[in-house]
């Protein structure tokens, strides 16, 4: 397996879902029955290919940091625009994540979307979404990344608004698209700064230039700004505060879409981007990212506690977990941030698909009982599903345990790593607010996830519908089971309490920062003793490979500190998760505390959380109404001032025309008429002479002849 082979294979992986999209979208009538099978099989092949690529990268070429090729697209003046694809460990892992989730979602949708009138189109959209997401994953430059970034925005718009007959779905898709655009604008500005300053879009070229001391416009502030602007793209896509508002609304899309887009792939794109450009963030940019992540994690966890819509709880939980990942990257715990991205992808997709399974069952039961007014997504209508849907329950429970961070699960490994990272960061920098946000979010996560589980699955059925639900068939169960199994610890690390010792942490070493020493946290600067290998191994086929540094005990001081904080973090997070779970059981299962009374006591807080911190209202009042007001003002300006000027000039022209017309009519025409009149008068006089009598003429001739002769002589 050569390097070219791996890259070509990843190009095929990229193009296969596009093929699926093209086949289906142009043959919707002919593929009504076969569309799901075509696309699922294509995605299955894609998954196998990505496993091969990941094996090739992670095992065969594990010592080469980045396999890539670059291709000159076109020249603009003296700058050439280069594009290309690249595979490193991060991309290889992401290929598996995206393809596996996409494959399982395809499979799930075969059953879930059955009977929809745009059945084939759904699979076509899933195809183009997967294509765009894979494009982001294997982009080795900002330009490719941005192109596919926007494609993801478009395809998520199509998928969220798939049931566009529903106003709420149409609005949600618009909201998602526009909110993302806000972030993308920042991303675009960041890319422009990078291109302007470094003349290239390539990640490694940019990093090389920065590490050689080239700063954009010679200013460290601009470098920080560039990092934050690029991160703004991630704020939009990964639904970070303050652009998180689109994600909960996006739950209007079909549930498999929520699982695909809002659990594992699209929202992970922002985190992936942040990880990709990790080396160029300065200390200030990192602090910004860390605070954004921490605050998002905390805020959305508080909102998730009071939501009653099954999918909305999961949506806010997603926002919260994404906050975790971003926070992890912000504090420098790169490995654990990405680790959490992967583990979260499995268990959150599992949770979403399980919720899809529940909603599907509720729908069926409602259909069976001719009951159409019930909200099938409201957990207050559920309860007791444990007995009717055991497979769904146990997979959901496993994923819940994982997200709550109970030992022996993947979630524990990654979350523990992140929390250790925040503790280490706080210890080194003094920003203790970040771990406080992190730990309280962990507590709330455990609480609301078990609240959801208990309300939906435990106890007695709260409605007839819930009583008559049935377990779904294998197409729905299989993805759940597979994803639940992937939430177990031993896939990532044999030691169930230390994620840092497993193969995962070894394969995804933190990217080395390239920012000059005086702009970076000193604990992120690689240790001096480390052996730097700058030797480039350029193969004649255009590869640029960089050797991984020799194995070293700790990459930098931060890694060491994480290791020291590991047991503290584990102890604290165990305690906190236990508290959260215990509290949830105490309140909702054993009903020792009356939740209504508690709610009554903290009514303002409860309402604050129930209304999602009033973000939608605030945005409505400020940005949306502001925009509308601005548009109105613009309209007024246009219709009054601009139109007025146009009308005035028209009026002036009209007056001028009238005056010129007057001049023409009176003076010019008058002169012409006068001449004609004069000639007419003369003519009338002369006409009398012509009597028609020949004799008269002769007489006159004779007379004048005589006069003439007389005059001559």
Partner 1 sequence: MEIGLFHYLLVSAVLFCLGVFTIITRKNAILVLMGLELILNSANINFIAFAKYSGMNFDGHVAALFVIILAAAEVAVALAIFLNIYQNYKHVNIDEVSDLKE
CB of 671 to partner 1, least distance (A): 32
| Residues 438/425, Cβ–Cβ less than 8 Å | no
Stretches 73-81, 288-296, 398-406, 691-699: which one binds partner 1 (CB under 8 A)?
A: 691-699
Nearer to partner 1, 370 or 695 (CB): 695
Between CA 262 and CA 247 the distance in angstroms is 7
CB of 706 to partner 1, least distance (A): 10
CB of 682 to partner 1, least distance (A): 18
**Three-state DSSP state, 86:** strand
Between CA 427 and CA 609 the distance in angstroms is 31
Stretches 14-22, 83-91, 441-449, 685-693: which one binds partner 1 (CB under 8 A)?
A: 685-693
Stretches 106-114, 307-315, 335-343, 696-704: which one binds partner 1 (CB under 8 A)?
A: 696-704
Q: Is 694 in the site for partner 1 (CB under 8 A)?
A: yes
| Residues 465/371, Cβ–Cβ less than 8 Å | yes
Nearest to 581 by CA among 392, 452, 413: 452
Q: Is 698 in the site for partner 1 (CB under 8 A)?
A: yes
State which of residues 690, 709, 710, 712 lies at the interface with partner 1 (CB under 8 A).
690
Q: Is 692 in the site for partner 1 (CB under 8 A)?
A: yes
CB of 702 to partner 1, least distance (A): 6
CA distances to 68, 165, 483, 524 from 51, rounded to whole Å, are 18, 39, 16, 32
Stretches 2-10, 88-96, 484-492, 692-700: which one binds partner 1 (CB under 8 A)?
A: 692-700
Stretches 11-19, 93-101, 107-115, 686-694: which one binds partner 1 (CB under 8 A)?
A: 686-694
Nearer to partner 1, 33 or 693 (CB): 693
| Residues 24/127, Cβ–Cβ less than 8 Å | yes
Q: What is the DSSP string of 249-306?
A: HGGGS-HHHHHIIIIISHHHHHHHHHHHTGGG--HHHHHHHHHHHHHHHHHHHHHHHH
Rounded to a whole number of angstroms, the distance between the first and last alpha carbons of the chain is 133
Between CA 405 and CA 392 the distance in angstroms is 20
The rounded radius of gyration (Å) of the Cα atoms in the chain is 37
**Three-state DSSP state, 431:** coil
Nearer to partner 1, 78 or 695 (CB): 695
By the 10 Å C-beta count (0-12 exposed, 13-18 middle, 19+ buried), 689 is classed as exposed
Q: Is 699 in the site for partner 1 (CB under 8 A)?
A: yes
Q: Is 691 in the site for partner 1 (CB under 8 A)?
A: yes
Q: Is 538 in the site for partner 1 (CB under 8 A)?
A: no
Q: Which residues on adjacent β-strands are paired with residue 69?
A: 85
CA distances to 15, 176, 304, 625 from 86, rounded to whole Å, are 15, 29, 38, 44
Q: Is 702 in the site for partner 1 (CB under 8 A)?
A: yes
Q: Is 485 in the site for partner 1 (CB under 8 A)?
A: no
CB of 680 to partner 1, least distance (A): 18
Stretches 60-68, 134-142, 426-434, 689-697: which one binds partner 1 (CB under 8 A)?
A: 689-697
State which of residues 74, 596, 693, 712 lies at the interface with partner 1 (CB under 8 A).
693
State which of residues 695, 710, 711, 712 lies at the interface with partner 1 (CB under 8 A).
695
Nearest to 486 by CA among 373, 609, 347: 347
CB of 656 to partner 1, least distance (A): 49
Nearer to partner 1, 541 or 702 (CB): 702
Per-residue x/- marks for partner 1, 551-570, CB under 8 A? --------------------
Stretches 218-226, 435-443, 468-476, 687-695: which one binds partner 1 (CB under 8 A)?
A: 687-695
Nearer to partner 1, 74 or 713 (CB): 713
Total residues in contact with partner 1, by rule CB under 8 A: 9
| Residues 109/126, Cβ–Cβ less than 8 Å | yes
Q: Is 212 in the site for partner 1 (CB under 8 A)?
A: no
Q: Tokens 């294979």 label which residue?
A: 9
């Amino acid at each position: 397996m050569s390097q070219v082979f791996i890259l070509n294979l990843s190009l095929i992986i990229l193009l296969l879902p596009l093929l699926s999209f093209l086949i289906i979208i142009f043959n919707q009538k002919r593929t009504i029955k076969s569309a799901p099978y075509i696309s699922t099989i294509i995605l299955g092949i894609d998954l196998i290919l990505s496993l091969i690529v990941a094996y090739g990268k992670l095992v065969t070429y594990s010592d080469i940091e980045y396999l890539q090729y670059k291709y000159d697209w076109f020249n603009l003046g003296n700058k050439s625009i280069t594009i290309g694809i690249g595979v490193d460990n991060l991309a290889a892992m992401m290929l598996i994540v995206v393809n596996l989730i996409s494959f399982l979602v395809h499979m799930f949708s075969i059953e879930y979307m059955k009977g929809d009138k745009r059945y084939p189109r759904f699979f076509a959209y899933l195809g183009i979404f997967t294509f765009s997401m894979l494009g982001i994953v294997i982009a080795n430059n900002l330009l490719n990344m941005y192109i596919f970034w926007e494609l993801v925005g478009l395809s998520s718009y199509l998928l969220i608004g798939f049931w566009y007959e529903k106003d709420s779905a149409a609005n949600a898709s618009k909201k998602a698209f526009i909110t993302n655009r806000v972030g993308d604008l920042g991303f675009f500005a960041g890319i422009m700064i990078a291109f302007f300053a470094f003349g290239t879009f390539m990640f490694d070229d940019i990093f090389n230039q920065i590490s050689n001391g080239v700063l954009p416009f010679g200013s460290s502030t601009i470098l920080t700004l560039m990092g934050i602007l690029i991160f703004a793209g991630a704020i939009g896509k990964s639904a970070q505060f303050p652009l998180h508002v689109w994600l909960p609304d996006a739950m209007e899309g079909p549930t498999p879409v929520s699982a695909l887009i809002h659990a594992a792939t699209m929202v992970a794109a922002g985190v992936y981007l942040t990880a990709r450009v990790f080396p160029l963030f300065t200390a200030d940019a990192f602090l910004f990212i860390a605070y954004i992540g921490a605050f998002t994690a905390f805020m959305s966890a508080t909102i998730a506690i009071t939501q009653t819509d099954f999918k909305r709880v999961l949506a806010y939980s997603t926002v919260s977990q994404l906050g975790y990942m971003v926070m992890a990257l912000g504090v420098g715990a790169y490995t654990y941030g990405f680790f959490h991205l992967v583990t979260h992808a499995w268990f959150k997709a599992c949770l979403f698909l399980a919720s899809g399974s529940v909603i599907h069952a509720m729908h069926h039961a409602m259909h069976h009982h001719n009951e159409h007014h019930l909200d099938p997504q409201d957990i207050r209508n559920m309860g007791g599903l444990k007995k009717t849907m055991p497979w769904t329950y146990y997979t959901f429970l496993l994923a819940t345990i994982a997200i709550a961070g109970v030992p022996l699960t993947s979630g524990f490994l990654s979350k523990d790593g992140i929390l250790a990272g925040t503790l280490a960061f706080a210890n080194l920098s003094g920003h203790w607010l970040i771990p406080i946000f992190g730990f309280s979010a962990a507590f709330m996560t455990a609480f609301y996830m078990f609240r959801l589980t208990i309300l939906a699955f435990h106890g007695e059925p709260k409605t007839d519908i819930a009583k008559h639900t049935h377990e779904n068939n294998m197409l729905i169960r299989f993805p759940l089971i597979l994803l639940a199994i992937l939430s177990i610890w031993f896939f990532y690390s044999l030691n169930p309490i230390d994620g840092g010792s497993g193969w995962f942490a070894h394969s995804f070493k933190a990217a080395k920062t390239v920012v000059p020493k005086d702009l970076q946290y000193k604990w992120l600067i690689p240790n001096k003793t480390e052996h730097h290998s700058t030797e480039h191994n350029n193969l004649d086929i255009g590869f640029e490979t960089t050797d991984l540094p020799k194995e070293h005990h700790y990459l930098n001081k931060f890694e060491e500190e994480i290791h020291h904080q590991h047991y503290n973090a584990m102890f604290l997070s165990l305690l906190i998760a236990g508290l959260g779970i215990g509290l949830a059981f105490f309140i909702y299962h054993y009903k020792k505390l009356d939740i209504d009374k508690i709610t009554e006591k903290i009514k303002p807080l409860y309402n604050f959380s129930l209304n999602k911190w009033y973000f939608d209202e605030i945005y409505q009042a400020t940005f949306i109404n502001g925009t509308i007001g601005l548009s109105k003002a613009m309209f007024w300006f246009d219709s009054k001032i601009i139109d007025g000027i146009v009308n005035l000039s028209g009026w002036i022209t009209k007056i001028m025309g009238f005056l010129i017309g007057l001049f023409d009519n009176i003076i010019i025409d008058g002169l012409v008429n006068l001449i004609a009149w004069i000639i007419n008068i003369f003519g009338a006089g002369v006409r009398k002479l012509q009597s028609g009598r020949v004799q008269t003429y002769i007489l006159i001739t004779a007379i004048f002849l005589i006069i003439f002769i007389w005059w001559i002589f």
